Amino acid sequence: MTFDLVASTGRTATTFLASALNDLDDVCACHEGYAGSDKALDPLLPLINLENAQSYALPAAAARVVAAKRSPEVLTAAMAENGASRLIDLAYYNATLASALLRHHPDSRMIGIIRGCESFVRSATTLEGEDPLPVGWPDPAKPMTDREKFISMGRIRPRKGSPAKADWERWSAIRRNIWLWYETNLMLLAAQEEFPERVRLCRFETFKMAPRSFWVVVADLFDLKVVAEGPKTDHGHARNEKPAGYQVGPKSDWTIAEQTALERAQTIIDERARYAC
């Protein structure tokens, strides 16, 4: 059994990547539990979306979640059902569970995808209307649909007693999503620092602008030489584009406090990250 991981904040083309990797012979790639990102089917892996927030709030809970929902027995059954001998799991919650997953599965490897903070915040922030891709925190004054409320139950938020928790209620959606980006990527960095030989970090911007460089890293780490040139089909059906576009302007339009928070977060992450591409 071979089990590998891809993790990110979300809004990093993981749906596309799951679809492309799932096309490889003897590989099953899941996106948030669904084989090939096809949510018309029943999930192949137990869903973890709601446990994400609990695992962040109480880090000891992450090990319990992994033991219950990503045990070798669970993974073996999923691969037997799919008929594959390799499983690659792509999900935003893999960032929260990264270290616990890698401890539980000592042969697993992980690619973390880091998107620039400004770009992520603009993509993830919704100020009005329903968000069809609710990755980030919406404007605090925006009414949420039942679906948005349900998804928000699994989104990480500041821990009790933290400075961010004290400031949370007065923060704008932009400020909240800078925090979300920063905390998620800190967990990817922690996994890389604990398992330097098994974790590779890649910039989302490299995947967009120089995709072959990204696919070479994937092929090398996961021992999938056939993908070194990238996917053979376009997989346009697996691209999650926001139909209404971004509702947040560039950082030059943000408040000074938001710009300062962005610059601090981006600097800390970039100084600690060891990027493979």
Decide: 84 and 28 in contact? Cβ < 8 Å: yes
Closest CA to 261 of 184, 177, 138, 139: 177
Q: What is the mean pLDDT of residues 110-136?
A: 96
Number of domains into which the chain is organized: 1
Report residue 134 as tokens.
């609710």
> Pick from 239, 236, 238, 214: which is nearest to 227 by CA?
214
Burial of 27 (0-12, 13-18, 19+ CB in 10 A): buried
Sorted by sequence, the CB contacts under 8 Å of residue 145 that are 6+ apart come out as 130
Any domain includes 203 = yes
In a domain, 154, yes or no: yes
Q: Is residue 140 part of a domain?
A: yes
Query: Of all helices (H) and strands (E), which one includes residue 211?
Result: helix 211-222
SS3 181: helix
When pLDDT is averaged across residues 67-75 and rounded to a whole number, the result is: 97
**Residue pLDDT, tens place only, 11-67:** 999 999 999 999 998 999 999 999 998 888 899 999 999 999 999 999 899 999 999
84 inside domain: yes
Token pair in block for residue 53: 């927030």
Q: Provide the pLDDT for residue 134.
A: 93
Which H or E run includes 122? helix 117-124
277 within a domain of the structure (yes/no) = no
Whether 232 is in a domain gets the answer yes
How confident is the model over 181-234, as pLDDT tens digits? Answer: 999 999 999 999 999 999 999 999 999 999 999 999 999 999 987 675 566 666
The neighbouring-strand residues paired with 89 are 5, 30
**Residue 178: enclosing H or E segment and its boundaries?**
helix 173-194
CA distance 184 to 117: 11
Q: How many CB atoms within 10 Å of residue 94?
A: 27
Answer yes or no: are the C-beta atoms of 211 and 196 closer than 8 Å. Answer: no
Backbone angles phi, psi at 7, to 5 degrees: -140, 155
126 in a structural domain:
yes
* CATH number for position 95: 3.40.50
Q: Is 233 helix (H, G, I), strand (E, B) or coil?
A: coil
Domain containing 203 equals: 2-272
pTM (2 decimals)? Answer: 0.95
